[in-house]
Structure 1
Amino acid sequence: MISRRGLMAGAAGAAVAGLLGSKAFAQTAAGAYVMAYFTESPSMAGADYGLHLAVSTDGLDWLPLNQNNPVVTPTAGTGGLRDPFVLRKQDGRFVVLATDLKGTDWSLQNQYVHVWDSADLRGFTGYRRVKLHSMATHSWAPEAFWDPSRNQYAIIYSAAYGGHDVIMVNYTTDFTTVSAPQVFFDPGHATIDGTMATIGGVNYLYVKNNTNSTLVGQRSSSLAPGSFTTYKTGISPGRGVEAPQIVPAPAGNRWYLWGDTWSPNGRFFCWETTDVAAGNWTLLNDRAYTQPLNSKHPGITPITAAERSALVAQWGAPAWRRLKSYNFPGSYVRHANSVGRIDAYPFDPYQDQLWKLVPGLADAAGVSFESVNYPGRYLRHYNYELRLAANDGTATFKADATFHQTAGLADASWSSFRSHNFPDRYVRHFSSVLRIDPLGSASSTVDKQDATFRVGY
């Protein structure tokens, strides 16, 4: 094995060294983050079972890479993946693990997981499937961590054993040859989706209680199988949740806990705490974070700021944007039956929420919103309501379809959009429909919030 000292020379090496072991978190957090995921949407039109990547500078707001298309797709087994996870190994390189399952046939008994090696997540080599056991059951949601007491990596995953799902473990040095499976954690009832974080010398294992679809926290002073005891139960956003991920915030003594809902109609939730040991997680408002489009089952790994920049340079940022409502932050601007409106995420056709922000048709200093799935059609106001219509080339259409982006009326870090030809009017939602209304300093707080949006991905 390459020595850590030899590999990590220099400032960049020091930054990587602080991230070794992926989730063995120091009190100082990462400079950036990468999220691995697959995609599904309510009607499954957005389903894609390849490896997708997104990056973030704050661990909350995500930039999908490669136009939200996969960067690599399995070529063996079922030909698809779920539940991908990225581990930074002790030599500074990465390994990617994922469930071998394309689609939603939960009855499939698959003893294998997908594995790739990667120097920098800009290319993937050594693709293989690794057999974890010979039992008549699955191998779901594999994750891995470094166990210094064994000088080996532990691969944890969900499998049925003793009549219900438990968290199993295999040990490896190369993610090719693995030890015999052992039970890592079994609370006596169905448990899936284990994720590990070592914080302040304590090892935390968060899982999904599969009997009531809540998240549960365990901890141990060691990493030994069977050593974890439950200390926090019932973490829920008020609906079923799974796929926990603990992530250090970019500054301060704070951590985020991410969770995903289980159905294609699902979405991510995020909690925050300054004390993982106490387990007092506070659910964040949707305004605080944005998940990648159609993303499912996140695997989040700290990286350096330089690595994030290199990933964006390699894979590119999306050509489209999404607009999130300020006071209904679970909703996004879309067109439906040619009407501009906001609707709660997720929905299909998911492309209805994707916009190209182009120079204003009537004034290049402004902006026009061109539909991604109906190129040449733009949001324009007509009788003060916003509609999607084809550009007829007239001066009136161009003016109606041009808006000027300003500081958000409700929050200056967000955006509002003033009409080009009715400059006292701003785009706002009213009963979910978009329109332009006069909004001045005397406008109500609600009116200003209705006219405030976040331009993101």
Structure 2
Amino acid sequence: MKKTVRALLALLGPLLLVLLGVPSLQGTASAASSAPAPGQVTRYTMTAFTNSSESNLYVYDSPDATAFTLQKGPAYTPPSGLIRDPSVFRHTDGFYYLTYTTNWTGNTIGFARSADRVNWTFLYDYTVPISGLTRTWAPEWFVDTDGSVNVVMSLTAASTATHFTAYRITATDSALTTWSAPVQLAGIGPNNIDTFIVKVGSTYHAFTKNETTKYIEYATASSLTGPYTLRKTGDWAGFGSWVEGPALVQLDNGGWRIYFDGYRAGKYWYSDSFDNFATWSTPAEVPALSGFIRHATVLKETVPDGVALPTGTTRSLRSVNYPDRYAAVRSDSLGYIDPVSSSSSTAVKQSATLTIVPGLADAACYSFRDSGGRYMRHWDFRIRFDADNGTDVFDKDATYCARPGTAPGSVRLESYNYPGRYVRHYNYALRVDTGQNTDTFRADSSFTVVSPWA
């Protein structure tokens, strides 16, 4: 019966939201969830050059692909030339590898290696074996599903920075020191640069800047080398013009995030898609880094030291920076952090006692029930407690992924369908707000899981 109700509400839900004037909720991710198992955590590593230097690499990381923290900067300076457009991946040997643009003109790309993502060693400059090249720009790693390691780059033999075409080279040894002959990606061009490719199923999806129109375009193919069919042109995704350097990463909830450089405006943006790249969220600036970084790529990994919560048990969530207050539900069904002590009434203690269960939308994450069986969910970014209405939207609104908090053993709860938003208190009211790279926000969004009050 519940499945039937869910199916009916899934059809009617979006229409009802429109009629009620409620903003559509994210959560129609086309790809399967990629959230890490409990006890592990996602880490997004960003490598970028900056407005202040084209010769220095900066390395950042983030648990949510939104709020990035500097790990080292400068982290690497090549022995000569530039380090524009740095692209990072982790190879099967356990090392991290960079490839990057070595100069505004010429026929080489650079390579460096690191054991820890922050301390890098120069490997070599590779000369692309095509006669007459004048510019060799924006190399990007692409590891195919067959394990082959490729670099996709933008090349031109023109006397000016025009008429770029995309080529790929493939590593012919596991040490990444020898490469196949360059092969052009058919269908991308005649003047496209900064081509970034991801593969979903058997389809290759290419995001590339049209250097003539200054828009990011979208093409697909059934082979890495094409032929690609151009699917979207102009301002098809709402990214605007005079943008470049697209780089994509898949989020824990299965959606895709694109980062891109609004170089004329001096801004750095991201946008999310949950429907096979058809539509994208309104671009938002990357917090703290917009206006400073340039042409970054982001590597997603699953690493140890995640937070595992005890499902099937009742617990209380104590605020890290207001340790006499706990996540609680009031009579208006809204969430707050309220003071609770041994002298509090039974009702107050029950209001601050929650049952932790596997996430309704993803069992690798978590959901929380109050003593009346209602679930902690967000609505218009406010935390409230409601009965499960059987819809996918509700399941996603009521699912949170655990991230390490500011205090030892504490946890931050990231919204499943709004990546980068965390449960936090503001004026004692619980909300899901976009992460901020501040000590105050991190403390406001950190909770310690303790024995239940009731």
Does the CA contact (< 8 Å) of 1:169 and 1:183 recur in 2?
Answer: yes
Does the CA contact (< 8 Å) of 1:29 and 1:248 recur in 2?
Answer: no
Structure 1 residues 170 and 194: CA distance shift in structure 2, 3 A: same
Q: Distance in 2 between matches of 1:109 and 1:215?
A: 23
Match of 1:294? 292
**Is the partner of 1:280 in helix, strand or coil?**
coil
Higher mean Cα deviation, 108-117 or 31-40?
Answer: 108-117
Structure 1 residues 454 and 227: CA distance shift in structure 2, 3 A: farther
Mark the runs of 5 or more structure 2 residues left unpaired by the alignment: 1-30, 37-41, 308-424, 443-454
> What pairs with 1:113-124 in structure 2 (closer than 5 Å)?
113-124=109-120
Q: Distance in 2 between matches of 1:142 and 1:204?
A: 17
Q: TM-score, normalised by structure 1?
A: 0.55
Code of the residue aligned with 1:71 in structure 2: it is: A
Q: CA deviation at 1:60?
A: 1.3
Match of 1:87? 89
Q: CA deviation at 1:266?
A: 1.4
Structure 1 residues 454 and 238: CA distance shift in structure 2, 3 A: farther
Please tell me whether residue 271 in structure 1 is matched to residue 264 in structure 2. no
Match of 2:260? 259
Does the CA contact (< 8 Å) of 1:408 and 1:414 recur in 2?
Answer: no
Q: CA deviation at 1:119?
A: 2.5
Q: Distance in 2 between matches of 1:305 and 1:48?
A: 30
Please tell me whether residue 56 in structure 1 is matched to residue 45 in structure 2. no
Match of 1:184? 185
Please tell me whether residue 136 in structure 1 is matched to residue 147 in structure 2. no
Structure 1 residues 274 and 182: CA distance shift in structure 2, 3 A: same
| CA displacement 1:178-232 (0-9 Å, x = unmatched) | 2222212444431000111112332211111111111111122222x23221222
**Is the partner of 2:180 in helix, strand or coil?**
coil
Q: How high is the sequence identity, in percent, across the aligned residues? A: 24
Q: Distance in 2 between matches of 1:308 and 1:259?
A: 29
Does the CA contact (< 8 Å) of 1:158 and 1:168 recur in 2?
Answer: yes
Match of 2:49? 38
Q: Distance in 2 between matches of 1:304 and 1:409?
A: 33
Does the CA contact (< 8 Å) of 1:97 and 1:114 recur in 2?
Answer: yes
| CA displacement 1:418-455 (0-9 Å, x = unmatched) | xxxxxxxxxxxxxxxxxxxxxxxxxxxxxxxxxxx986
Q: Distance in 2 between matches of 1:217 and 1:95?
A: 27
Q: Distance in 2 between matches of 1:238 and 1:211?
A: 14
Q: Distance in 1 between matches of 2:295 and 2:278?
A: 22
Structure 1 residues 292 and 119: CA distance shift in structure 2, 3 A: farther
Q: Distance in 2 between matches of 1:211 and 1:49?
A: 27
Q: Please point out which of 46, 53, 76 is paired with 1:47.
A: 53
Structure 1 residues 54 and 166: CA distance shift in structure 2, 3 A: same
Match of 1:153? 149
| CA displacement 1:116-161 (0-9 Å, x = unmatched) | 1223314323521111234332111101222355x63211111115
Code of the residue aligned with 1:115 in structure 2: it is: F
Match of 1:281? 280
Q: Distance in 2 between matches of 1:165 and 1:207?
A: 11
Structure 1 residues 279 and 412: CA distance shift in structure 2, 3 A: closer
Does the CA contact (< 8 Å) of 1:35 and 1:53 recur in 2?
Answer: yes
Q: TM-score, normalised by structure 2?
A: 0.55
Code of the residue aligned with 2:107 in structure 1: it is: Q
Residue-pair matches, total: 280
**Is the partner of 2:266 in helix, strand or coil?**
coil
Mark the runs of 5 or more structure 1 residues left unpaired by the alignment: 1-24, 41-45, 102-107, 310-405, 416-452
Does the CA contact (< 8 Å) of 2:215 and 2:244 recur in 1?
Answer: yes
Q: CA RMSD in A?
A: 3.3
Q: Distance in 2 between matches of 1:242 and 1:408?
A: 40
